[in-house]
Chains A and B, each alone.
Chain A
Amino acid sequence: MSYLLSATCAVPAVGAVVTAALPAGTGEARRRTTKAVALAVSVATLGLAAAVAASFEPGGARYQLTESYSWIRSFGIDFALGADGIGTALVLLTAVLVPLVMLAGWHDADPAAAEGSFESKRRTQGFFALILAVEAMVLVSFLATDVFVFYVFFEAMLIPMYFLIGGFGDRAGGPDAARQRSYAAVKFLLYNLLGGLVMLAAVIGLYVVAADQGQATFGLPALTDAISSGKLVIDPTAQRALFLGFFFAFAVKAPMWPLHTWLPNAMGESTAGTAVLITAVVDKVGTFAMLRFCLGLFPDASKTFAPAILVLSLIGIVYGALVAIGQKDIKRLVAYASISHFGFIIMGIFAMTSQGQSGATLYMVNHGISTAAWMLVAGFLISRRGSRLIADYGGVQKVAPVLAGTFLIGGLATLSLPGLAPFVSEFLVLVGTFTRYPVIGVIATFGIVLAALYALMLYQRTMTGPVKESVTGMPDLKARELAVVAPLVALTLLLGVYPQPLTRMVNPAVDDTLSQVHRTDPAPVHPVAANGGEQK
């Protein structure tokens, strides 16, 4: 048995504890040590994640590098981990983003003169420890092959996230920023807690049904095998109820329209780094879990609800984009753009075609990278001027051309420009939806026009035109900030031109998922022979 997966999860977890326990104090040297330790831990985690990806064999078993430790024996709960192609892709995404988020938020937890009284001495330690804690929990969620273990970590990550949102703002809010922030944090917690509790009921319900039929286990591979071999038959009503229980939790976290309203608050009030953590990493657990748990455990119910879910995600695509167009706040605009993108991801999953689901998985990765680039540069911009309002900016490209240029690249990635990574995934989702649901696919295509509108309007209003007095003398990106953006831009280009490392990894897992729900791709009406073009 290899210990690679547990090590990948344990390193950030232990790192979080160590970081939190580092000597407190507000001195610059102390803070720097804390940051260096946390960053080193996240880089080590990235190394381990890379090792996971390197040892993963695309043609091999669905779950690889598996580990299992008995946990609660009487309920058949094992601490079981296993990497499949989809999970591995998201583990990589998480491991790549966390160091960059830390680097971007290097000074976000420094004591600011303005925030006096409630300034804790352990502020810096706390901030970086919380990020590592979130990373550890997210990694376990992507790797858990035990439903109960997944549930525990899915829920537990709310706690560090709550403190990250509520405790660390971007210092750009108005006079009642603290109040707004705590509102956002509580809203985040309540929504997700509610979803989680419903899911807990369903998790227990699933166990009860399985145990009744002699399958007293929470092990995901065992359960899906029993389901597909007919050893475990969940009757349709129960299956639908359980599906909805799971799906509700994931739809809140994803977030899917109309359960999305916590996201703009949470992303708007927190630091740019935390906002990236939310939308690019934590939310992905929701869509990932739809693909792995909802489809694998409740294939028939998934098919029953698919059309309804597709309609909701379609509404989300258009609605999110339209509301983004109407935003006055940069970070809330990015949040609504994400809501639109989550619509695409969920649509791809429930179209139940290989293009749709591979596209959705790639979408999770690509959205993570591109939104991180866009949001973090937005954060750099906001930190320079101390305002989130679009109207406070104008003409930035004249004074800070590199900042403006990278912000444009982030926007272009968000609007899925061909050649950049998000195009690959968005087109796959569209085509995968279209082959089964042509009308929905065509309507979703309007999303590409709307995306161009919000992305380019934001660029135009903030970066072009005459230089506003409020931005004169604004410094361009610093070396640290460039180090954050450069890898993201490079990845966006690389995965846009050569997405094969990802598709090779993801495709087999998607094919397996599709066979679990007994779905095959719709055949072309008049297929051309594979080499039809060559014989001429």
Chain B
Amino acid sequence: MITKVTTAEFQKEVLESDLPVLVDFWADWCGPCRMMAPVLEELASDLEGKLKVAKVNVDEEGNLAQQYEIMSIPTLMVFSGGQAVDQLVGFMPKGDLLNKLNKHI
């Protein structure tokens, strides 16, 4: 399951999460973001209990996008213990994404 996160919820849902969190910064007008969505759905269920997957709509949550200096979407950021520990930009097939995430989970 993917959690939709707003600016108000970000602290609790992402920064204070016990599990590492993969945050997908996206928008509905972005083609590659739409391609990424089913990959993230699969990933979220495959890694349930090990990794939390959250998404932030950059149109609705402009402050968060600005705070994390998002300049391209989709941008996937990995948060662990309240810190941003990794950042991946652009569409990525599931296998590649899993490889990149392995060191964080």
Please indicate whether A and B come from the same complex rather than being unrelated chains.
no
Q: Which residues of B approach A to under 8 Å, CB–CB?
A: none
Q: Which residues of A approach B to under 8 Å, CB–CB?
A: none
